[in-house]
A and B are shown apart, each in its own frame.
Chain A
Amino acid sequence: MLLPTATYRTTAFVTAARRLAVELTVASEQPSTFQQAQPDRLLTLPFAIPERAALEAQAFATRVPVHGVVGVDDDTAVVAAAVAAALGLRGHPLAAALAARDKHRQRVLCAERGVPVPPFALYATTADGAALAARVRYPCVLKPLRLAASRGVIRADDPAGFTAAWQRLTALLATPEIAACGDWTRQVLVEDFVPGPEVALEGLVTGGQLHTLALFDKPDPLDGPFFEETLYVTPSGLPPPAERAIAACAQAAVTALGLTEGPVHAELRHNDHGAWLIELAARPIGGRCSAALRFADGASLEEVILRQALGLPLPLLERERTASGVMMIPVPRAGTLREVRGLAAARAVPLVTDVAITAHPGDALVPWPEGSRYPGFIFARGETAGAVERALRDAYARLDFLIDPVA
């Protein structure tokens, strides 16, 4: 299990492994304090250099048998693919995982194979933003090639908006923390804004065939200028033909990228021209959102993923009958979190199953587009998607974030 130290996913995957009675080795990019004492259970791998991580995993596997490998985010999905290739394990091919991680490469491959993606162009961050503003088409969206959670993604409707967005995004990419991540931080993707409702498709690819595990509606319109996500509710209220078009578009993208074995999470839009692929990642849904999904016999998404990686029989890949949803709690404003009030009232809202505050007192809260960290998550289950959405909004309205202004 490849778990970055900053992931939200640790508990869900460790719990799933225990439920399956799987012997787990956890690899992270920083050493655990127990690594020397438990060298079979804990490992440090250089996630930033997948080829080296694969070699080190190969050396580890000469000592401890490894039967499957799972990554949880964009970077560890690539490392998992490299490890799987080195050890002959199930997983997406490395080239496919690399293509899925890079938004430009992903669009090139999809466009070449006729998958509907917005028209796009790639520019160096050293380019003259004002000059570009005069020749791009509006409305457009500026994106970094990799950052997660729509971090740095900004819509521009006119040249003035483009110039401001260009400055903001290139400044973000130039921050030392991000600039150190590689050459991709020196490029910006600019693509047409695609109007229409956006959905998220959670899927499992087996033998190159995509199985849709859940299709989430995003009831809050994502029209920009920033694209912080809030509500995910499933089942989708889109008409069946639109759902079929979305599934077909996602399958076409899976084929175009060459993904064959493992989880995928895709963002798509649907309008009068049909389904459009916005992003497809070779990893499961992020944050704590997977808790909104439950399959046959109460299996979690993480159990499904671990079973597939290990070649264990899969449960029936049918989501539970009830509607389910999650709200990624928006960052109210910039500052330092002092306290969250109203938790008991939020948890008491009918249909709400959990309110998880993941930010801690003293944490800096950074709004989008510079930020990427939600302060928490709200979950609800009910008979209809509409009732779930109302419960999530009601619970959110009862929360009060006390935030000290930035000094």
Chain B
Amino acid sequence: MSPADIRITAEPIDTGRCKFLVSEPVHAGGVRRFTSPVEAQGSPLAEALFAIPGAEVAEVIVSGNLVTVAKRSPAPWQAVGKAVGQAIRAALASGQPAVAAPPAAAAGGGNDDSLYERVADLFEQQVNPMVARHGGRVELIDVQDAVVMLRMAGGCQGCGMADVTLRQGIEGLLQQHLPEVKGVVDITDHGAGSNPYFAAAKK
């Protein structure tokens, strides 16, 4: 595939975090999260993203067609985003997997697997029955290094109060019931939400 055929849309969340929606699948094997260049070794895309000069990339999450990049640098996404786009295009054009499968230790059990089960149970027993009242659904995507990755759907996707649901509701429940959870990352493409429960309408 030619790099020119790959379409990438950048969606900055704030100055520190930006989602990149790619027209082609980047990683079909679930979610991979990298928090350092060492963790990125063996995954060409993640290695390239951590190596972007001046960006001070702190975290890379790859799932399906979505690449989420967090950086420490105050550099605008308009500049960093071009380098991210080049890295994604180069990784996909190489014909090699952009992201390696998780290491056997991480894939084969351990604390995250156990935590995943308990988070999944909390989502099914408490979180989803609650958001279902507004036509929403929250999918547990993965747990890596005790960080929960989730995706919102239905009435939650694109909802004006999604951040309140996430931080005041879901994160609060996780802190209460599973204090070993270190963080929650929302990988939802909220811009694609077609039926948000609350839509921003006032200036």
Which residues of A are interface residues toward B (Cβ below 8 A)? 3-8, 10-11, 14-15, 18, 24-26, 28, 30, 32-34, 37-38, 41-42, 73, 148-149, 286-287, 298, 343-344, 347, 350-354, 357-358, 360-363, 372-374, 381
Residues of chain A with a CB closer than 8 A to B7's CB: 344
Shortest Cβ distance from A354 into B: residue:
B12
Contact A10 B8 (CB under 8 A): no
Asked if A28 and B161 make an inter-chain contact with CB atoms under 8 angstroms apart, the answer reads: yes
The reply to whether B168 and A34 form a contact with Cβ atoms under 8 Å apart is yes
Over the window 43-75 of chain B, the binary record of Cβ atoms lying under 8 Å from chain A Cβ atoms (1 yes, 0 no) is 000000000000000000000000000000010
Main SS of the interface on chain B? mixed
CB contact between A38 and one of B134, B158, B172, B194 (< 8 Å): that residue: B172
Give the complex CA separation of A347 and B163 in angstroms.
24
B162 to chain A: which residues have CB within 8 Å?
10
Complex CA distance for A344 and B23, rounded to whole angstroms? 12
B163 with A10: CB separation less than 8 A = yes
Distance of A73 Cα from B160 Cα, bound (Å): 15
Contact A37 B194 (CB under 8 A): no
Asked if residues A343 and B169 are in contact (CB atoms below 8 Å), the reply is: no
Q: A351-B78, A360-B193 are in contact. Are A372 and B161 (CB under 8 A)?
A: no
Q: Does B77 contact A (CB under 8 A)?
A: yes
Complex Cα spacing A148 to B201, Å: 10
| A42 with B168: CB separation less than 8 A | yes
Beyond contacts A41-B169, A148-B203, A347-B10: 11 other A-B pairs, Cβ-Cβ < 8 A, are A6-B200, A6-B201, A7-B202, A14-B163, A14-B167, A32-B161, A38-B168, A38-B169, A73-B202, A361-B194, A374-B203
Q: Contact: A286 with B9, CB < 8 Å?
A: no
Closest Cβ of chain B to A183, distance in Å, is: 20
* Also in contact, A357 and B191, with CB within 8 A (given A347-B78, A372-B201): yes
Instruction: Give CA–CA (A373, B173) in the complex, Å.
Output: 34
- Evaluate contact between A11 and B165: CB separation under 8 angstroms: no
B 172-203 contacts with A by CB, 8 A:
172-173, 191, 193-196, 198-203
Interface window among B30-38, B88-96, B101-109, B125-133:
B125-133
Contacts of A3 in B (CB 8 A): 161, 164
Chain B contacts for A287, CB-based, 8 A: 203
- Taking chain A's interface residues, is the majority helix, strand, or loop, or is none over half, making it mixed? loop
B14 at the interface (CB under 8 A from A): yes
Residues of A within 8 A of B133 (CB): 33
**Nearest residue, chain A, Cβ from B134:** A33
The minimal Cβ–Cβ distance linking A172 to chain B, given in whole angstroms, is 15
12 contacts between A and B (CB under 8 A): A6-B198, A6-B201, A28-B164, A33-B165, A33-B169, A38-B173, A148-B202, A344-B8, A347-B78, A353-B77, A360-B193, A361-B194
Whether the Cβ atoms of B81 and A347 lie closer than 8 Å is yes
In order of increasing CB-CB distance, the 4 nearest A-B pairs are A34-B169, A149-B203, A286-B203, A8-B200
Which residue of the partner chain, among B9, B14, B164, B193, contacts A10 with CB atoms under 8 Å? B164
CB of B86 within 8 A of chain A? no
- Indicate if the CB atoms of A34 and B202 lie closer than 8 Å: no
Given contacts A38-B169, A347-B10, contact A14 B202 (CB under 8 A): no
- Which B residues touch A15, using CB under 8 A? 14, 163
Nearest CB of chain B from residue A395's CB, rounded to whole Å: 10
Known: A10-B160, A33-B134, A344-B7. A41 touches B202 (CB 8 A): no
The closest CB in chain B to the CB of A75 belongs to B202
Say yes or no: A24 contacts B168, CB within 8 Å: yes
Partner of A6, one of B9, B195, B202: B202
